[in-house]
Each structure stands twice: as C-alpha cells, then as structure tokens.
Structure 1
Amino acid sequence: MAHPPLEGRSRTLVTLALSLATFMQVLDTTIANVAIPTISGDLGASTSQGTWVITSFGVANAIAVPITGWLAKRLGEVRLFMIATIGFVLASLLCGIAPSLELLILFRVLQGALAGPMIPLSQSLLLQSYPPDKRAIAMALWTMTIIVAPIFGPILGGWLSDNWHWSWIFFINVPVGVVAMLLTWRELRHRETTILQLPIDKVGLTLLVLGVGCLQMMLDRGKELDWFHSGEIVLYGVVAALSLSYLVVWELTDKHPVIDLSLFKDRNFSVGVVSVSLSFMLYFGAIVLMPLLMQTQLGYTATEAGLATAPIGILPVLLSPLIGKNAHRLDMRVVVTISLLMFAFCFWWRFETFNPDMTFADMAWPQFVQGIAIAGFFMPLTTITLSNMKPQQLASASSLSNFLRTLAGSIGASLFTWQWEHREAVHHVQFTDRISQYDEGTRQTLANMQQLGMSAEQAAGVIARDVTRQGMFIGANEIFWLCAILFVIVTGLVWFSRPPKPGAAAAPVVDAGH
C-alpha cells in the first residue's frame, strides 16, 4: 500500500532521522582508517592485521547488500530499517568493548552485515516521504550527508584516538543511532510497506558467503602465512574458486537469484560496474594506505593524519550539486573521463612528491584536488551503469553494483597493504646489499655517527631504520605510479559504453565509502 507524502514537521524529522543513520553508517567506513595503528598497538597486533578491522566490515557489508531487497519485502522496509539500526548500534557498542583483535573483527563483521540495508532503505524511505516534485531536493539533502561524512570521519577518528580512546570511534554511534531510531519509529511506524512472502535463493546465498568470505580470508591471511606455501591459504583459495564458479552457474539458472547475473548482458551495466569496481578498489586502497604511511613513517598523530586526508571532501560538497543540476545537459562519459584522469593526475602527483621530508601541505594538497575526481565519479558512473535498466531491474542492478564496488574496496585495502610491505622488503634487501663494513661510505657514515656520541649498535640501528623508511616510501610510490596508469586504462574502458539517454534516471546514489 502506497502512503501519502509526509508534510511539515514530520517530513523534517524523518529527513533528519534518515540522514543521521546514513551519516553514521558512512562515517563508520572512514573513521577507523586513521585509528588502525592505535588499535593494532593496543590489541597487540601488527598494522597489517589491523587492516582486517576495515576489510571485515566491508566484506560483510557487501554480502548484505544483495539480500536487502528480499529482506525488505519479507519484513517491511520500516521494520528492517529499525532492526538494522538497532543492531548497528549494539554491534558498535560491542566493537568498543572488544578486548582482542579477534573479537573486534567478529563484531565488525556483525556491524557490517547490519549496515548493509541502511543505505538503500534510508534512501527508499526518504523518497516515499516526499511528493514527486520535491524528491530531487530530498536526494540532494541525502547526498550531502554521504559527501560530508568522509570529511569528518578521519578528523573525528584521529581526535578520539589521540585524546580519548579508540573505542570511542565506535561508541559515538550509540547516541546518533538512538536518536535516528527513535525518530524513525515515531514518524514511520504507521507507514510500513507491503510485506510479501518471497522465496530466497538459499544455495546462491550460501555460495556467496562462502566464496566471498574465503576470498577475503585468503587475501588478509596470505601475507601473514606466505601465501600458497600455507595449507590454510590453499584451502581458502580452493573453496573460494569452487564456490564463486558454482555461484555463477547456479545464479544463471535459478528463478529467484540472489545476484541477477543476466544484467551483465547490457553493455552499459557491464562497463559501468567494471569501471566503478576497479576505480574504487584503487581509491579505497589508497585511503587505507596513506594514514598508515603518515603515522608509521612520518610520525603523524591520528588527528594530524585525519586532518591531512579530510580535504578530499571539500570540493565534492561544492561541485556535486552543480553536476547533478546540469546532468541532463552533460555526456556522463565526459564527466567520468575528467574524473578518472584527475584521479590519475593526483596519484602521479603523490608518486612525484611523497618522500620522508614531505610536509603536511605536500600530503593535503593532492587530497584537496582529488575532490574534483570524487565529485565527477560516483553519480555519473551510476547514471551510466543504470541508464538502460527497466524499472523492475533497478533494485537488483543497484544492489549488484554496490555489492561488487564494496567488495572491490575491501580487496583493494588488502592488496595495497600487502604490496606495500612486500615492496618494502624487496627494497630493504637491495639497500642492505650495498651496506657493508667493507664499503667506504658505510664506514664513514658509522664513524660520523659515533663521533656524535652514538655507540656502534645505535648507529647501526639508525641506518637500519632509515633503510626501512626509505623502502616504505619507495614501495608506496610504486603503488601510486601503478594506480595512475590503471586509472588511465579505466578511462579508455568507459568509452565502450553508450551515452545515457536524456532523462535516464540516476538510480540510487551510492555511498562514497571513503
């Protein structure tokens, strides 16, 4: 049953409640990034293990997205949103009190799964609350929350970690979530959507969880266990390969697939999904890597790292409304091309300037300029991806696109941290091969340091730390260089799509995941 639009105060309160819930969910994808070194140190884990706090959330979130539509029809959109919000708040509380990394990761998986329905449902419920002629305004307000959240996430996460305790990056969700939950219940409990008893693809869902879960475990644990020299990693790889292969076969024949792979028959959908997934993998991997680089190699506090990364959200706040207002006049392929080339430029900029002597401004300026790329990335690519979808296909298409994008982000975080450590090890060996007591330069350096009052052991330790630091920066720069090249390649891929027809609906806006 369709409900009439809300009016006045009720509509304002619903907008506030749904925006708060959206803000809280998007904030949680970025707030932990700058706190990883602090969390790792406090829980006795390595920095690379600490990144599981990010990837576990992302994978669980990705898996939950495709089944949101089915759950919403079985439970009702309002009820499911309430369950997800309450569960998210409780999971946040558990994350904050987790005494070990293992339990924190478990609670982050729970938090990510419960967060899955929140973005699409907040959008759907908001649109139902506005009359058709005011839905563009509603979506503009909703979009601003997902653009602004990544600005505050790193700063807030850094400040809380430095001045209070990392637990507060999770505790802060409790009051926000409670307010959102109470307001939603007060205003929407009498506006439940129609409930339908639809079947679910149990086999497909099981294969999806097994395949994606084992794939991420392989990526996260592989760098710790020397990859396929470990029987555990081989097992994860085999299970992931078999599950995902059989999932493709199964979903192509099932009447109610959890993932509708037939959507890939449309050229624009295929090009859009591949482009957004590859680009987001590179973008999100860098978002995880840079705070680690700043804190472990430049001595930044978590707050300083947050302030250095936050400028990425400034320009999207200004440019996104302009792009949205003029979308009907623009060829979205041109907008995306400019965005991807700007991504490539910013990564090349980092490759040229990142070194142990860089300043705060050297870190912050590429982040600020990259905001141009963010503004022209998510909405235009979503428009291309969904431009040829029929109305009954939009929900499935949007869910599948979001699932693959979110999964790609988690894979990017794992690959970037692994490659960073791997390249550092390679360069460490190359540097140490040149350092020898028989080398005149080495002997002279050690002698100079000893003249300054260092013992032979202290001097050797300083050289070893410098070698590691140089290796870390060179490794990061190699990753930035590769990202710049890959963004240029993706730019070419976008032009295999056809220009979206005038008036093609930009379907549900995706969160920037930042």
Structure 2
Amino acid sequence: MTPLQRKLLILTVILAAIMELIDISIVNVALSHMSGNLGATLEDTSWVITAYAIANVIIIPITSFLSANLGRRNYYIGSVILFTFCSFMCGHSSNIWMLVFFRFFQGIGGGALLSISQVVVFELFPKDKQSTAGALFGAGIFIGPTIGPTLGGYITENYDWPWIFLINIPIGILVTISCIFLLKEPPVKPEIAKVDWVGIALLAIGVGALQTVLERGEVEDWFETRYIVVLAVIASISLLTFIYWELTIDKPVVNLKVLKSKSLSIAAILTFVTGFGMFISIYISPVVAQRLLSFSPYQTGLLLLPGALFALVALKLCGTLLQKGVSPVLIIAAGFLLFIYFNWRMSEITLDTSAFEVSTALIFRALGMALLTVPLTMLAVSSLDDKDVGQGAALNNMMRQLGGSFGVSIINTYIAHRFAEHRNVLISNVTLDNTKAMNRINGYINYFQHRGFAYNEARSKALKLMENIVTRQSSLLSYRDAFLFVGLFFVITLPLLLLVMNKSKKPKTNIILSDH
C-alpha cells in the first residue's frame, strides 16, 4: 500500500466512524419535530434513540465473530451499505414505528463502523506510533458528538428532519467505494469460532422485552396490562437463562466469568451509570431547551458545541495524565464529580434560564464524559489476563450501551410520574381561596376582555392560559427532578472507587484502544 493509499484509507474509516457517531446524537435536537410530524408522543419518539442503542448492545459482542467468519473486509463494507440503506429508509419513513424499525437496523450496521475502523487505524500505524493513532482516532470520535447536535439543529430548522438521515447517503457511498479499492483483510486472519446463537437470542429477547416494559409501563398502567406482564416474565426468564447459559458453555458470546475480576465488575457498574447519565442528559437537555426554554433546534445544537470543544482538550489531558502514571481511578472520580455538578446545575434551571447558563452547565457534562471514556476501559481490564482483555473491554462497552438504552426508557417513566405529582400539587392551589391565583386569573380575564372577547369567552381563555402555565411549570419541575435523579446515581456509585484504589497493574493500553 502506497503512503497516499494509506492516508486515504485512514481518512475513510475515520469518516465512517464519525458518520456513525453523528447519528447517535444528531437526532436528539429533532425529536420534537419528529414527534409532531409523525403524530407520535415524545415517549414513542424516544424509541428512535433506544432502538439504535439496543441494536448496538446486540451487535457489539458478536462483531469479532462476524468479522472472522465473513471476512473483515466483507463485513465492514456490508455494514456500511446496511447503514446507508437504512439511513435512506429512515428519511422516507411515513410513521414512527417504520422509523424505529429502520433505525434499529441502522444501529446493526453502525455497530461495526466504530470498532473495526479503530482496529484498521491502529494496524496502519507502526507500533512506535500507536499513541499518534490513538490521538488521531480519539479526535475523530469526538468530532461526531461535537457537530452532531449542531448539524441536526441546523438541518431541522432550515430543511426538514428526514435530512438528518439522508445526509448519510453520499458519505456512505463514498466510504463504500473507497473501501472496495483500499481495504484489505488483516495480515493475521483471526480464528473462526462457533457462534453462541442461543446466547445472542436470549440476550436480544431479554433486552428487547425489558426495554418495552420500561418504555410502555407508565403509559399502560404497568402490570394492569396483560402484555406488559407477559413481557416482564419473558424478560426475567430470558435474562436469567442467558446468565446461566453463558456461565456453563465453553464459548459464550459474552464471557461473564471475567466478572470475577473485582476491577472489571466495578468498572462495569460505573460504565453502566456513565452510559445511563450520558444518554439521558443528551436526550432531555435538548427537550428542555426547545419545549421549555423556547430555543430553536439550531440554537439547541449550539448549546452543546462549546462543551464538545472543551472535551477535546480534556481528552488530550486525560491521555497525558494516564501516560504519566496517574491512576485511572483518580481521573474517573474527577469525571464523576464533574457530572454530578452538571446535574446539580441543571436541577436549578428556571423558565428564565439563559442559553449561556445552559451551555456553561453542558461544558461540565462534556468534561466529565471526556475524563470517563478511556480510564473506565483501562480500569475494566487492568487485572485481566491477556486472553480475557478483549472480552472484558467488549463487556464494558456493552454495559455503556445498556445503561443508555435503559436510561432513556426509565427517565421517561420517571418524568411522567413526577409531572403528574407536580401538576396535582400546583393545580390544587388554584382555588377560590387562593387570592394570588384568583388575581392572576382575573387579570387574564381583563386582558382578553380588552381584546374584544365577551366575559364567558375571556374567562374560558384565562382558565386555559392558567392551565398551560401550570403544565409548563410542572414540566420544568419534573425535568429538574430528572437531573437530580441522574446525579443521585453518580453519587451512590462513586464510593465504589474506594474498592479499587490500590490497583497498580499496568493496563494493556494497545489492546484497550483497539477494542474501545
């Protein structure tokens, strides 16, 4: 391979990874538009995010198997084609469930783009340049989340939400053509292993059923609805059977035995919480900005941009600290504290909070995420044998996706519950005995009467306006509670780091990077 071909291939696979990462965050600022355009509730529309996350959870553990059995070149190019085709179909979806269906398979295709792209980049650099490869790819994977919300906001505001998916088509075609000519099979062909189809099926059924229970439980009055009960039973049986199956067979798709490592077990819990907080914050922050603070989609996207730029600096600083021997545990603790502070800041917002205040709070979120990304993986594999490092890193990555997919579902239920409680409290204060409430209503009546409406019509409009105010305030309080709820998870799990403070075994940095 000539130097020019090598540079073109590096650019190609990083572009593919950026495309996949953009699609994780680009939809968040367009959820309200999708909801209105497709006639769906925000809760149903959130499946556009969770379906992608579930697909990633299913495909991540079997990526190495598919790469070995289908050939890495064939699997990678096929994944790009699947991702591109499903992007086209997402953009032409006529209802929410059609969109969710193709979004799921877009996630299946996208599962290979990040992990295999990273492996290819590291193969193209000599051993003494691995840190350069890591920095190059690290910058690339932050470009996606950096420009995703801003790009999504600009497209939604100036064109229409389907274009957030259709924009992938020319990029996907370009990547496919480039890979056909440049991408080769790895120099050492991996051993072909028998796939654990039973484990994959149990995981997919269990996660899918549990996700549906979490997503639809609040709407369907939980266990008062038959299909929710059935799915809860299916989820319990499938996941318990999955654990038993994976612990008893020789070649499990997810080697749960590596969880005997205390550092991996604790890292997996912390990674789950990180995914939980990361996905929830990137999901509800744009909703709050648009629905409560009345920001446009493009303004909402810009709110996330400064934090993402700061995260690039923090990522470089994190790498420098790790190379100098600073314990990953200390960096993880700093990341958790930053994220706790972010949630506390967001729990204090009002309907008059400025864009600057929100954007500043989001900077702390981005800094926290940047400090958690690599150190958590390093902690996860720090005490594993070399043969178990790949499985440990994959399991850790899967926990992040699980945390994210469950988090979005759980937070919708939590927000709905808190909204109902806050609304009941606020509406109970709008009575004839409450002088302030009556004065406000009478003021609205006078306003509408001066606008030419008769008393009865003016009174009806005044009561409706009061109802809207109560609803908006209830929504604000419920979202503030949601940020506190997420922050509490970080506070509760932070002390777990005390159990791994003395880990000093040198982490397998090169392997981590290729599996991260």
TM range, normalised to the smaller chain? over 0.9
Residue of structure 2 in register with 1:461 after alignment: 464
Q: Which whole-Å deviations, capped at 9, do the CAs of 1:108-146 have from their partners, x for residues lacking one?
A: 111111111221111112222221111221121111111
**Match 2:36 to one of 30, 36, 41:** 41
Of residues 279-288 and 83-92 in structure 1, the stretch that sits farther from structure 2 once superposed is: 279-288
Residues 1:490 and 2:486 are matched in the alignment: no
Call closer, same or farther: CA 1:68–1:500 in 2, change over 3 Å. farther
User: Contact conserved, 2:382 with 2:506, CA < 8 A, in 1?
Assistant: no
Which of 315, 333, 340 is matched with 2:336 structurally? 340
Residue 261 (str. 1) matches residue 265 (str. 2): no
Give the conservation status (yes or no) of the 8 Å contact 1:272–1:385.
yes
Alpha-carbon shift at residue 37 of structure 1 (Å) = 0.5
1:315 corresponds to 2:310: yes
**Structure 2: which 5+ runs fail to align?**
450-457
1:416 to 404, 411, 422: 411
**Amino acid aligned to 1:20:** L
Q: Match of 1:370? A: 365
Say which of 222, 226, 232 aligns to 2:221: 226
Q: How does 1:27-66 map to 2 (within 5 A)?
A: 27-66=22-61
- 1:489 Cα deviation after fit: 2.3
Give the Cα separation in 1 of the matches to 2:438 and 2:188: 77
> Which of 441, 454, 470 in structure 1 is aligned with 2:473?
470
Encode CA deviations 1:400-435: one digit per residue, 9 max, x unaligned.
Answer: 111121011011111112211221111101111111
Answer with 69-78 or 500-509: which moved more.
500-509
Structure 1 position 218, deviation (Å): 1.1
1:222-269 deviation line (CA, Å, top 9, x unaligned): 222121111111111110000000111111011110110001001111
| Distance change >3 Å, CA 166–CA 508, structure 1 → 2 | farther
Does the 8 Å CA contact 1:73/1:195 hold for their aligned counterparts? yes
* Structure 1 unpaired stretches of 5+: 1-5
Decide whether the 8 Å contact of 2:315 with 2:370 is kept in 1.
yes
Q: How does 1:410-449 map to 2 (within 5 A)?
A: 410-449=405-444
AA matched with 1:217: T
1:115–1:343 distance in 2 versus 1, CA, 3 Å? same
> Could you tell me which residue of structure 2 aligns to residue 15 of structure 1?
10
Q: How many angstroms does 1:163 deviate by?
A: 0.9
Alignment CA distance shift 1:316-1:330 (3 Å) = same
Give the distance between the partners of 1:307 and 1:507, measured in 2 at CA.
35
- Once the two structures are TM-superposed, the CA of residue 484 in structure 1 deviates from its matched residue by 2.5
For residue 3 of structure 1, what is the aligned residue in structure 2?
none
- Return the letter of the residue paired with 2:470: V
Deviations 1:150-193 (A, max 9, x none): 11010111111111111111011111122222222211246576
Query: Where in structure 1 do 4 or more consecutive aligned residues deviate above 6 Å?
Result: none
How far the C-alpha of 1:500 sits from its partner, in A, is 4.0
Q: Which residue identity lines up with residue 336 of structure 2 in the other structure? A: L
Distance 1:262 1:466 in 2: 54
Q: Which residue of 2 aligns with 1:502?
A: 506
Number of the residue aligned with 1:126: 121
Name which of structure 1's ranges 104-113 and 125-134 shifts more when overlaid on structure 2. Answer: 125-134
Report the AA paired with residue 460 of structure 2. E
Residue in structure 1 matched with residue 268 of structure 2 by the alignment: 273
8 Å Cα contact 1:25-1:118 kept in structure 2: yes
What's the CA shift string for 1:459-495, capped at 9, x where partnerless? Answer: 1111111111111111111122232232222221122
- Residues 233 and 126 of structure 1: CA distance in aligned 2, closer, same or farther (over 3 Å): same
Amino acid at match of 1:344: I
AA matched with 2:119: S
Q: 1:150 to 1:96 in 2, by over 3 A?
A: same
8 A contact 2:73–2:185 mirrored in 1: no
Q: Is the 8 A contact 1:22 1:122 kept in 2?
A: yes
CA RMSD after TM alignment: 1.8
Q: Is the 8 A contact 1:286 1:413 kept in 2?
A: no
Q: Distance in 2 between matches of 1:302 and 1:487?
A: 29
Paired position in structure 1 for 2:138: 143
CA contact (8 A) 1:351 1:477 kept: yes
- Could you tell me whether the CA contact under 8 Å between 2:119 and 2:514 is conserved in 1? no
Q: CA deviation at 1:338?
A: 0.9
The 1-side partners of 2:190 and 2:507 are apart by 31
Give me the whole-angstrom Cα distance separating, in 2, the residues matched to 1:44 and 1:380.
Answer: 42
How many residues are treated as equivalent by the alignment?
506
Inter-partner Cα distance in structure 2 for 1:506 and 1:472? 46
Q: SS at the partner of 1:496?
A: helix
Q: In 2, Cα distance between the equivalents of 1:257 and 1:378? A: 26
Q: 2:387, 2:180 → 1: CA distance?
A: 29
| Contact 1:40/1:46 (<8 A) preserved | yes
